[in-house]
Amino acid sequence: MPSGPLAPAQAHLQASLERVRQRIRAAEQHSGRALGCVALLAVTKAFGPELVASAAALGQRAFGENYVQEAIAKIERLRACAGLPELEWHFIGPIQSNKTRLIATHFQWVQTIERITIAQRLSAQRPQALPPLQVLLQVNVSGEASKSGVAPAELLGLAHEVAALPRLQLRGLMAIPQPGLPPAAQHASFAQLRELLENMRESLRARVQDASAPLDTLSMGMSADFEAAIAEGSTMVRVGSAIFGERP
Ligand SMILES: *Cc1c(COP(=O)(O)O)cnc(C)c1O
């Protein structure tokens, strides 16, 4: 990185990224959780590769994208960018079955699995040269904004099927509760997801023996509600606008 004064846009990004990191630390502390136990996924949909490169230069490594073509254009631009460390890409948008091969080839994580057919395609299409794809099941918790996500009653069935797929490594759960819920309802949605993960862990204990990849991930919390999510056990917050500003 150049050691001269930061360009204004870079200085602005540095300040907002630092503010989000501090809010995460404060929330960890406030809820009695270990400092550093919550990972930050920077959500870059609608922003260009230059901004991703700037965030990477500030130490951010994990990025979330919602649209396959847009994401792959960025991933390839950044891969060609000399001097950048290796980045970790998470797919967090709805998955169409004709896009699974691209997703399986370009991403390290997929957070939005809600159907076994999609999981089977991702497993079959994951290139042999790459490590298993790290996956989360998206759950439709109460107060879900969209209709996406598996219903809680169907989660364990899906989890057992996904855990058996050879090229996927099931890591946990993800949810997108409705924005703007009153605090009590917000906390209840996040607590519900945490309880579902605990049940799933119990139910899969015999099946998932690989201790190097535990069911350790609870992806919940966005710009507007990540403190509540951390209080309820989130291990990964997905933050876009609080870091990068309103999407263009
Ligand atoms: C866009 C998006 C985010 C980030 O939302 P912000 O409110 O900008 O922080 C997080 N998760 C998913 C699934 C998204 O689509």
Cα(50) to centroid(ligand 1), Å: 19
Which of 41, 238, 241, 244 should be mutated for ligand 1, with most atoms under 8 A from CB? 238
> What is the residue with the minimal CA distance to atom 12 of ligand 1?
92
Rounded to the nearest 10 degrees, the angle between the axes of helix 68-79 and helix 49-57 is: 50
Question: So what's the pLDDT on residue 211?
Answer: 54
Q: How far is Cα 95 from Cα 97, in angstroms, rounded to an integer?
A: 6
Question: So what's the pLDDT on residue 145?
Answer: 59
Q: How many CB atoms lie within 10 A of CB 144?
A: 17
In this predicted model, what pLDDT tens digit does every residue of 125-166 receive, in sequence order? Answer: 999 999 999 999 999 997 565 678 999 999 999 999 999 999
Please tell me if the CB atom of residue 92 comes closer than 6 angstroms to any atom of ligand 1: yes
In this predicted model, what pLDDT tens digit does every residue of 47-100 receive, in sequence order? Answer: 999 999 999 999 999 999 999 999 999 999 998 887 888 899 999 999 999 999
Question: So what's the pLDDT on residue 209?
Answer: 60
Please tell me if the CB atom of residue 243 comes closer than 6 angstroms to any atom of ligand 1: no
In this predicted model, what pLDDT tens digit does every residue of 1-59 receive, in sequence order? Answer: 444 566 788 889 999 999 999 999 999 999 999 999 999 999 999 999 999 999 999 99
Question: So what's the pLDDT on residue 3?
Answer: 47
Cα(81) to centroid(ligand 1), Å: 26
